[in-house]
Each structure stands twice: as structure tokens, then as C-alpha cells.
Chain A
Amino acid sequence: MSEMPAAARPIRRRVITEEVHEGPARASAYVCEAASCMSAQAHDITVRLGELVGEAGLSDVVVKRVGCLGLCAAGPLVQIPQTGQLFERVRPDAVAPIVQTLKKLKPTDKPKPQVPFFAKQVRSATENFGLVDPESLDDYVERGGYEALRRALSEMTSAEVRDEITRSGLRGRGGAGYPTGLKWTTVAKAQGSPKYVICNADEGDPGAFMDRSVLESDPYRVLEGMAIAAFAVHASEGYIYCRAEYPLAVARLRTAIRNAQRAGFLGQAIAETAFSFDVQVRLGAGAFVCGEETALIASVEGRRGTPRPRPPYPAVSGLWGRPTLINNVETFANVPTILRRGPEWYAEIGHGKSRGTKVFALAGRIVNTGLVEVPMGMTLREIVFDIGGGIIGGRPFKAVQTGGPSGGCIPAQLLDMPVDYESLIEVGSFIGSGGLIVMDDTSCMVDVARYFQDFCRDESCGKCTPCRVGTTQMYMLLDQITRGTATLDDLATLERLAGIVQKTALCGLGQGAPNPIFSTLRYFRDEYMAHIVDRVCPAGVCTIEPVEVTA
């Protein structure tokens, strides 16, 4: 993919009428300029609104671009923050009603009650979404940005910072759920210098776009989280490894790094203290396996992204053999909020051993596709039906797929289960990075398993045999099942092989590759049987080959 999406083009200066008035604005229009809305000409809306507001002489009205407003399904979105009113599916040539609303808005107008999509969310990593201009450092600071870093640097020791993160109960939001405080402590105590902090923004799971949204909507938050982490583990250099498929996120991140360096929040002597820390962006190049931490390190070093056996863990021997802290975008994005609002606030939210909130990307056959942040432990039903608005066209719900190619499919009978790390593993799935793909009766579960195996086969780096050979063989068996040419023996072979790959593969990609097979077999074995024995695809997706009649 050599072409960059439209969003990669340089972003014109924001249209703002702020300069004309004194004091806070009477009314504002916030235009969502995250990737999804941008691809529907959201920037033209900002420009047009700015022009019309100027022509109408509304000097006390602000028009600004903001990060993701969340409800991507109804984009492009414009919000009036004073009342919370949301304009959906706005077209650049039809913004007059918004200008009318801005004209009429009175300071006494009360906010309207929120729709369930917004009302049920609890925001930590996404607290600034739709409120700040993603590229404006002033906006971020105004919303409490860099308070946490200042406090950490001036009032706390590194050990105290680590202690607060430990007490908050924050766990790795990339999917594995390793306790963040524990990881930080390991790196802090490891021998060797310099130490590195790496932000894993190689969001490879298909159907997941949480990290992209965070980087596009609030990039300073990630930089602040990384700086706090660097202080806590005594690191001085950082890297953000970001997918090249996210040009808008990369552009905003680079702008944010430049602005933070100028303002003294990155570089030498941060916030007038002795602490120094700088960050560079490294682009991925389309290899899913680079989300695995040792493969990611190899890629940052400019090599092929192949994983290596652990231990030693990167916390002890990582980038260039030095102790390295690797956390996911969302994990870092939670850090400033935790330090500012206190670890107890964060630890109070959640369920069981999973504390705090989790950002999910809702996609698939769901009405409200978009980005949500909910408390850990919310039931799947609440997420899919209350927040997500249910299935498109009122069709029957079949399954929700979580955790990407290493995850599983959760059937309708488990809709009332809480969504957290442990509960999902119990039902044979995996929280993963947070993509929730909803499927209705038009999806064939064998075909879905085949799709993920095709993905793993293609993305396998080829270093270890179980993954390189196993994923291909599993794919071929699944392909035979979907074509109606498999036997029950083939199904037994598939199950045996899946067990072997799970136990023997080198890294998470191979170990997780059989998961979609196991989970679809566990809940949808009848569909496999229909393909093999009755030679029909119940969902009508697979093309079953006609039987050859012999003599």
C-alpha cells in the first residue's frame, strides 16, 4: 500500500474565530476531525462553518476541530458542547441549520439529557475526546493536561509514581492484561542503562481502532503518559511504534511531539526539572506480528520483525539489549488521568481483578459503530444493545468476536456475562486490544474461522514451524470444510493440530491462532457438522461444491 489516505495530506490551519472576542465563547461548534469523519469531508465542514459564522458576524462563537466524537456510524458529526446537541451526517453544503442553532443559543440553555450511547460511558483514556483540538497543546493544558507530569516530577519520587500505578490496578490494555505497576517496577529495578520506553501503537487486530482514535484525538496524553512512565522507570529515550496505515495519527503525533518539545514537556530539563526524556516515531510497515513485543523491538532496530523466545523479557533485555518498558497506547493514555484523579478513583471502577475502564471499538453488523469507553465488567448485552443500539435491521444476534485473530466468538447465550480479562478467557475468548465485531445470522462461523486462519497464515513470520506450517494446514482444512469436501476425520485432525500449534508456537500469534477455531467449535459445532455431514452452509455464505456422482 503505497498510497496514503486523504488524511495524510497536510492539514490546513484550523478555522477559529476566537481572536475576535474576549472571555469564554457564548456558543461553539465542535467538528469531529478523526479519520472516519475526515473521510467524509469533515474538514470542509469546519472551513464552511467558519466562513458562515464569520459572515454572520457571530464574534462570540467558536468553530473548532476536535478528536473523535465516538459515534462514527452517524458521521460526519458536529457537536454543540453547551447543550450537547449532536448534528449527524452533516454535509459541507448543508451547515446552515448549525449556524442557526449557534445564533439562537442562549447562555441559559441547559444541556440535554444524553442518549444511552454516551450516558453509559465512563471516560478515562478518552476523557478529552471531542473536547480538545488534537493538535493544540493549549487546549490540552487547559483541560488539566501535564498537571500529572508536573506533580510527578516536582512532588513525587519514581517509586511513589510506580506505587500509585500499582494501586490503581491498571493492567496492560494491549490485551494480555499484565499488571502495569509490576512491569514498571521490573524495568525500574533492572540493571543497565540507558533504559527505553516504547509505546506500542501497532494496532494490528482487524476491526480494532482504539489506539488510532486515541492518537488522532488526544496525542499529548500519550506523550505525557510516556514521560511519566520514563520518570518512573528511569528511562531517557522513547519510541512510538505506529502503523504506517494510520497517516493521520502519525501526522498528529509528529505535530504533538514538536509542540511538546518547544513547550519544554519533552527534551532536556522537562518542566524546569532535572528530568530529560525525548520521543521519536517509528513507522511500522504492515506486519501484524510486530505487535508482539520482541518482534516490535526487532523492527525498531530496523530488522525483520521476528519474535524471539522469552525470557529474557524486554523489561530486562529489550531494545539494543537494554531494559525496555513496552506498553500499549491505551495504557499510557490512562496514566495521566490516574495520577491526576488518584489511583483510588480508578481502582473503584471495574469488576473482579479487572479495574478501571476499557475502550472498545464497536464494528460489524451493529447500529452504532464507533468508539466507547466503559467500566470493566459491563455486560456484553449492555455494550451491544444499550450502547451499540443492537443489530442493523433488527436481525438476530449471532456472536460477537473479540480479541482479533487470537480471540474467539461469544454466542448469544453468553450475552449477560461481564466483559473483563478473566471472564472472557473463561469462555474461550480474549479481551485483546478491544475490537468488538458483532455478527448476525448472515455470517457463517466456519467461514469466520477460515478468515482468521487465512489472516494468521499470511501474517505468520515463518520463524517457528508450528506456526508457519500449522496455520497453513489449519487453513486448508477449514477451507475444505467450507467447500463441503471435508470428512469427520478432517475435523478430528483439525482439532488435534490446533492443540499442537497452541502449545508449541513461539509467540502469541501462533499460540493464539487456534483460538477462533476452538471457540467456534465450542459454540457453533452444529455449523461445522452442517458443512461436513449435510453439506449445507446454514448462513448461505459458503459455496458448497456439488457432489460428484460415481457409477
Chain B
Amino acid sequence: MPIPYKKPAAPNDDKRWKIVETRMRRLGDRPQALIEALHAAQEAFGFLDTDALEYVGDTLGVPHSRVYGVATFYSFFTLKPQGEHTCVVCTGTACYINGAREILAGLDRALQVKPKETTADGKVSVLTARCLGACSLAPAVIVDGVAMGKVTAGELVAQLEAM
């Protein structure tokens, strides 16, 4: 006897699950909606935890192993919670030859934080981007969603320390 399909309930009563659920439903709750659903969950919660991965997989009928595979394949998705502030350093070619390396070195020196890490006090997460497509601003950095161009390591560290 076939087991009737029952849509899984959200992991808890956090209202943000509604956003994820709606995005999946719009795409027919089908496996092909996996990446879109992970985007929705990450937008809502800032990162993807085990609850989110399981909920998305169960709803779309995708094995947990494959959900994990997809979530770790794409560099945009993060499985770790982020710091209070995020600082994305562009490492595209134009930024690279215009000093992105010095910026990363400066962050490491002043705040002891490397790309994909968060400072010990949980204040700042440093990420790198392949290319933000903002090459005329090289070297470009995005701090908490605000893009800044022609940045120097000193300025950036001062700004992050002041936050």
C-alpha cells in the first residue's frame, strides 16, 4: 500500500519558515526547486543549518545526502552562522592587481581573521567573492551590504574596528 505523501512541518514556529515554504510551493515543491529553496532559507536565516537542509529536502523529496551535496558544492551557501557584520572582499582580477591581496593581509594582521572566518569576538566575518563585477571600483569591498570602492587596508580595518 503506498504511503500517502504528507508535507513535512516546519522545524519550529519561526515565521521565517513561511518564506521558505512559499518559495518551494511556487515552484511546485519539486526537486528542481532545491537551489531556489536554499537561497530562500539562507536569505531568511543568514546561513543553512541542519534543520533547514532537512526541511527543504523532505519537502522537495530530495535525499538529505543530495541536499548536503548541493549546499556544499555552491560557494554562495554557508553552513556556519555569520558574525554580526560581514565584509566581502572582491578578489576578481581587477581587484587582485589593484591590491585585494594587501587588504586581506591587512585584515589578517589587524583582526587575526582569514577569508571564510569570523573574528574571535564574533563581530566580523570575512568572505571573498570571485568577482563582484564592480571592476571600476577596484579594489572593491562590501561591508554589511554597502559597496565601497578603491579601498585601502588601513581604512577598512579602521571602519571595521569602529563598528
Chain A residues near B138: list those with CB within 8 A.
363-364, 369
Task: Please determine whether B97 and A5 come into contact, CB atoms closer than 8 angstroms.
Answer: no
User: Cβ of A479 < 8 Å from any Cβ of B?
Assistant: no
Within 8 Å by CB of B133, from A75, A245, A437, lies A245
Task: Please determine whether B134 and A209 come into contact, CB atoms closer than 8 angstroms.
Answer: yes
Chain B residues near A3: list those with CB within 8 A.
86, 88, 142, 144-145
User: Cβ of A205 < 8 Å from any Cβ of B?
Assistant: yes
Chain A residues near B69: list those with CB within 8 A.
304
In the bound complex, what is the Cα–Cα distance between A370 and B94 (angstroms)?
Answer: 12
In the bound complex, what is the Cα–Cα distance between A467 and B141 (angstroms)?
Answer: 30
Task: Please determine whether A1 and B76 come into contact, CB atoms closer than 8 angstroms.
Answer: yes
Query: Which bucket holds chain B's interface residue count?
Result: 35 or more
User: Cβ of B49 < 8 Å from any Cβ of A?
Assistant: no
A501 to chain B, nearest CB (A): 21
Chain B residues near A363: list those with CB within 8 A.
93-94, 135-136, 138
Q: How many residues of A contact B (CB 8 A)?
A: 61
A53 to chain B, nearest CB (A): 27
* 0/1 interface trace, chain B 115-132, chain A, CB 8 Å (1 if under): 000000000000101111
Within 8 Å by CB of A6, from B73, B130, B133, B146, lies B146
Residue among A206, A212, A283, A365 with max Cβ neighbours from chain B (10 Å): A206
B53 to chain A, nearest CB (A): 14
Task: Please determine whether A203 and B133 come into contact, CB atoms closer than 8 angstroms.
Answer: yes
In the bound complex, what is the Cα–Cα distance between A73 and B32 (angstroms)?
Answer: 41
Chain A residues near B62: list those with CB within 8 A.
302
Task: Please determine whether A285 and B149 come into contact, CB atoms closer than 8 angstroms.
Answer: no
A329 to chain B, nearest CB (A): 12
* A2 with B93, Cβ < 8 A, contacts A206-B131, A283-B39, A305-B74 known: no
* A1 with B133, Cβ < 8 A, contacts A285-B35, A301-B32, A437-B93 known: no
Chain B residues near A204: list those with CB within 8 A.
130-131
User: Cβ of A486 < 8 Å from any Cβ of B?
Assistant: no
User: Cβ of B106 < 8 Å from any Cβ of A?
Assistant: no
Within 8 Å by CB of B93, from A8, A36, A285, A401, lies A401
- Interchain residue pairs with CB less than 8 A apart (16): A1-B75, A3-B86, A5-B145, A5-B146, A7-B147, A36-B134, A39-B148, A206-B96, A207-B93, A207-B94, A207-B131, A284-B74, A286-B76, A286-B130, A304-B70, A437-B97
Q: Which single residue of chain A is at the shortest CB-CB distance from B136?
A: A72
User: Cβ of A101 < 8 Å from any Cβ of B?
Assistant: no
Chain A residues near B152: list those with CB within 8 A.
none
Interface residues of A (CB under 8 A from B): 1-9, 35-36, 38-40, 72-73, 75, 203-209, 212, 244-246, 282-288, 299-305, 361, 363-365, 369-370, 401, 404, 435, 437, 439, 442-443, 448, 451-452, 455, 459, 461
Task: Please determine whether A244 and B39 come into contact, CB atoms closer than 8 angstroms.
Answer: yes
B107 to chain A, nearest CB (A): 16
Task: Please determine whether B74 and A285 come into contact, CB atoms closer than 8 angstroms.
Answer: yes
A324 to chain B, nearest CB (A): 14
A-B CB proximity, top 3 nearest: A72-B136, A285-B74, A363-B135
Chain A residues near B82: list those with CB within 8 A.
2
B89 to chain A, nearest CB (A): 10
Within 8 Å by CB of A36, from B47, B129, B136, lies B136
* 0/1 interface trace, chain B 78-102, chain A, CB 8 Å (1 if under): 1000100010100111101110000
Residue among B36, B75, B92 with max Cβ neighbours from chain A (10 Å): B92
Task: Please determine whether B133 and A2 come into contact, CB atoms closer than 8 angstroms.
Answer: no
In the bound complex, what is the Cα–Cα distance between A451 and B94 (angstroms)?
Answer: 12
Chain B residues near A285: list those with CB within 8 A.
35, 38-39, 74-77
In the bound complex, what is the Cα–Cα distance between A283 and B27 (angstroms)?
Answer: 13
Task: Please determine whether B31 and A302 come into contact, CB atoms closer than 8 angstroms.
Answer: yes
Within 8 Å by CB of A205, from B70, B97, B131, B146, lies B131
In the bound complex, what is the Cα–Cα distance between A437 and B133 (angstroms)?
Answer: 12
Within 8 Å by CB of A455, from B36, B130, B140, lies B130
Residue among B77, B96, B131, B137 with max Cβ neighbours from chain A (10 Å): B131
Chain B residues near A73: list those with CB within 8 A.
136
Q: Which single residue of chain A is at the shortest CB-CB distance from B40?
A: A283
Task: Please determine whether B32 and A300 come into contact, CB atoms closer than 8 angstroms.
Answer: yes
Task: Please determine whether A448 and B97 come into contact, CB atoms closer than 8 angstroms.
Answer: yes
Chain A residues near B131: list those with CB within 8 A.
204-209, 245
User: Cβ of B153 < 8 Å from any Cβ of A?
Assistant: no
Within 8 Å by CB of B147, from A39, A283, A435, lies A39
Task: Please determine whether A1 and B93 come into contact, CB atoms closer than 8 angstroms.
Answer: no
Within 8 Å by CB of B97, from A39, A208, A287, A439, lies A439
